[in-house]
Amino acid sequence: MWTTGAEQVEQAVAECVGVLGEVAGRDWTGVRAGRLEWSCRETAVHIAEDLIAYAGQLAGRERDGYSPFELSLEEGSDNAGALRVIASMGALLAAAVRTAPREVRAFHPYPFRSANREGFAAMGVAEVLLHTHDIAEGLGITYEPDPALCGFVLTRIFPHVQPGPTPWRTLLWATGRGELPGRTPVTEWRWSNNLVLDSERLTLQGVTPAAATDLSTVGDGGFAWLDGGPAEGTRVGAGLVYKQYEDGVHRPEWGMYVLVRREDGRALGAMGFHGVPDEAGRVEVGYDLVEAARGHGYATEALRALSSWALARPEALVVVANVEPGNLPSQHVLARAGFTRVAEDPEHLTYELGVSGDR
């Protein structure tokens, strides 16, 4: 069953407060938190700061920057008090995630300057898991979160990280806190929220590995579909996205996008790339719509937006589409989007759209 992440925020915070509550009577101020430069006390306050910051961004619908406020504990608050604040701030983030409409996005810099409710939930869970680990390491106590929480984080904001032997070990490696056999140690890292592209009537919303897994079976991927969708082509494409993720070759901005209609938030279909551009700068695109959305120009509009985005990237020189000779509607979409037919064989017609002029 699809989740927006509120329950995961609550679980992560409960585990954090439970583990650290056992050692709240110890000195946290004079002890460094794992590999961080902060003390355990400073790190605990940072967890609370992140939780309320994400809640504020999402609840306030902040679009252009961070909401200008800071959190501080009352003078004289002990470690147990800090944990109470973490619990309260976690409850506020969970509430913000639960009440935010599906289409709301708010500012966060990494890497495309916005995140949706699931993204903020995943970032909040990541902060709790990782910094609880840092504090526990500093204090010399054992902490290992529920693997499902780690999987929730990895499949939403670490789409570029190949799954490893266990979700927790993979998350620690991906954030420079551990090692994995056969992988180079990580020294710099950032998570990645999904990319969203805008057109006149649509938003093209990047599909995370979590959504791809759900869409590839019988789920809705967290979207409200028109006409009982998604179509079979979307489910097949989602399966390919998840296979790329498992193989460690998924690059989210060169993956799949669900087409969502602005006027009612309904998902109409999907469009995306078969992979990253090749050495010659060629990248292939594919798409489909639910039947009720066809004939209204949505595919043409989305293809123009996605192709324009791709050809503005230095690694892409040509967008390619292959269609069956009998698929006249798809051929008309390509022609209206500016593509030119360049080749044909008994099974496919090949269309291309290239970079115009110098970049």
Q: Is the pLDDT of residue 323 over 60?
A: yes
What predicted TM-score, i.e. pTM, was given to this entire model? 0.96
% pLDDT > 90, the chain: 97
- Kindly report, residue by residue over 157-180, the tens digit of the pLDDT: 999 999 999 999 999 999 999 999
Residues sharing a CB contact under 8 Å with residue 121, sequence separation 6 or more, in sequence order = 4, 5, 6, 8, 9, 93, 94, 97
Q: What is the pLDDT of residue 92?
A: 98
Q: What is the pLDDT of residue 357?
A: 55
> For residue 136, how many other CB atoms are within 10 A of its CB?
20
- Kindly report, residue by residue over 134-151, the tens digit of the pLDDT: 999 999 999 999 999 999
Q: What is the pLDDT of residue 64?
A: 95
Q: What is the pLDDT of residue 358?
A: 54
Burial grade of 198 (CB within 10 A; 0-12, 13-18, 19 or more) = exposed
- Kindly report, residue by residue over 52-80, the tens digit of the pLDDT: 999 999 999 999 999 999 999 999 999 99
- Kindly report, residue by residue over 248-296, the tens digit of the pLDDT: 999 999 999 999 999 999 999 999 999 999 999 999 999 999 999 999 9
Q: 79-99 vs 6-21: helix axis angle to the nearest 10?
A: 170
- Kindly report, residue by residue over 200-258, the tens digit of the pLDDT: 999 999 999 999 999 999 999 999 999 988 999 999 999 999 999 999 999 999 999 99
Segment (H or E) for 106 = strand 105-106
Domains and CATH numbers, the chain: 6-174 (1.20.120.450), 196-354 (3.40.630.30)
Helix segments in 189-297, DSSP class H? 209-215, 232-247
